[in-house]
A and B are shown apart, each in its own frame.
Chain A
């Protein structure tokens, strides 16, 4: 359970009166007000458990302290803006320039707006809360958000993730597969894919707002909340075999682990203890899931033969 309080102190109903309940990435999320981007994942409120998270103190600006994890420009709310994050026994503190300050309890069960910049828009506030705050909270619950697109491979009865840097064709490939073979591939994620370990192996939990698509076009809303993760493909990007044939490669487990590490959203904000859990999780993921590099001619559309190549590879898995 994650309790999110968007209203800053003294301006809203507060944590005692959550008004909306959602399932996000396999975790129940309660908010003190509805969040439009989470509408597709709204669910009846679960009985409230005792709140174990300590209340965060009133927050001033984050000092240049030893506990600081991150202070750099980050893309949020449509522009690059300074973001600072500190982690310590009191939990996480996030400061987003032009939006506000946010606090997250050490166990990730309680996040709140500690101070709201008067110039912040509703969209900026929601993006900050659904971005670093919620993603950190999920990580503390053992759910890691990959910067990835994904499809449901119906033949393999599981999800396939595509990792790559911005511009390497993640979104295009996932959409193209879904459009080319809707009976074989169904779109799951455009940009952010939560994954977790389970007793049965790695799973994806695709109920997560894909902010670029808008609430009415969330591809995973009609899909199961949790699916086995069958394979991860690392996209080579535009430098691929121009005019050549698509091909797969097998990275070492070390390189697969590092790729998963690098493509985890917000990992630069993680505390040392969370980084250790993250490394362990990525190593386990790389060991338990088929990871392949994929190079394909970059033409802005689905490369000839790529669908068959991926289908055959999944079959082999």
Chain B
């Protein structure tokens, strides 16, 4: 498990960790960390997030904006859920988060 030092910010960059395998299954997904043989089940929204991450490293704010355009949900609630999910994925070593510089974070 890897804990993040501070709360995530919109400019923080998120990318799938190297070597993580995914199987997309009717809108949901299963992730596999082949090094430790651990599987993770992703629901539809989490699977969609993973699909966005597979396109390349992306800022959390951009991911939020994209998901907001696809789901009917309050922006603040989606942000909270998104941060929680990414933090959980980062703790499990499934994504890598590159924190934005402090000056950028305050924009």
- Set B19, B23, B35, B37: member contacting A283, Cβ < 8 A: B23
Number of A-B contacts (CB under 8 A): 48
The majority secondary structure among interface residues of chain A is helix
Residues in A with CB closer than 8 Å to B19 are 272
A140 at the interface (CB under 8 A from B): no
A267 at the interface (CB under 8 A from B): yes
Report the bound CA distance from A257 to B31 in whole Å.
11
Q: Separation in Å of the A263 CB from the closest CB of chain B?
A: 12
Report the bound CA distance from A286 to B23 in whole Å.
12
The range of chain B's interface size is 10 to 19
A267 and chain B: residue at smallest CB distance: B37
Residues in A with CB closer than 8 Å to B42 are 254
Q: Does A279 contact B37, Cβ atoms closer than 8 Å?
A: no
Q: Does B23 contact A252, Cβ atoms closer than 8 Å?
A: no
A280 at the interface (CB under 8 A from B): yes
Report the bound CA distance from A253 to B42 in whole Å.
12
Q: Separation in Å of the B19 CB from the closest CB of chain A?
A: 7
Report the bound CA distance from A275 to B42 in whole Å.
18
A141 at the interface (CB under 8 A from B): no
Q: Does B28 contact A283, Cβ atoms closer than 8 Å?
A: no
B34 at the interface (CB under 8 A from A): yes
Q: Does A257 contact B23, Cβ atoms closer than 8 Å?
A: yes
B 37-60 contacts with A by CB, 8 A:
37, 39, 41-42
- Set B29, B34, B41: member contacting A275, Cβ < 8 A: B34
The range of chain A's interface size is 20 to 34
- How would residues 232 to 262 of chain A score, 1 for a CB under 8 Å from any chain B CB and 0 otherwise? 0000000000000000000011110110010
- Set B23, B26, B34: member contacting A272, Cβ < 8 A: B34
Q: Does B32 contact A275, Cβ atoms closer than 8 Å?
A: yes
Q: Does A254 contact B41, Cβ atoms closer than 8 Å?
A: yes
A268 at the interface (CB under 8 A from B): yes
B47 and chain A: residue at smallest CB distance: A254
Residues in A with CB closer than 8 Å to B29 are 254
- Set B25, B35, B37: member contacting A254, Cβ < 8 A: B25
**Closest 6 A/B residue pairs (Cβ):** A272-B34, A254-B28, A253-B25, A253-B26, A283-B23, A254-B25
**What are 11 pairs between A and B in contact, CB < 8 Å?**
A69-B37, A253-B25, A254-B29, A255-B41, A257-B23, A258-B39, A272-B19, A275-B21, A275-B37, A276-B21, A279-B23
Residues of chain B at the chain A interface (Cβ within 8 Å) = 19, 21, 23, 25-26, 28-30, 32, 34-35, 37, 39, 41-42
Residues of chain A at the chain B interface (Cβ within 8 Å) = 69, 252-255, 257-258, 261, 267-268, 270, 272-273, 275-276, 279-280, 283, 286-287
Known A253-B26, A257-B23, A279-B32; further 8 A-B contacts with Cβ < 8 A: A252-B26, A252-B28, A257-B25, A275-B32, A279-B23, A283-B25, A286-B25, A287-B25
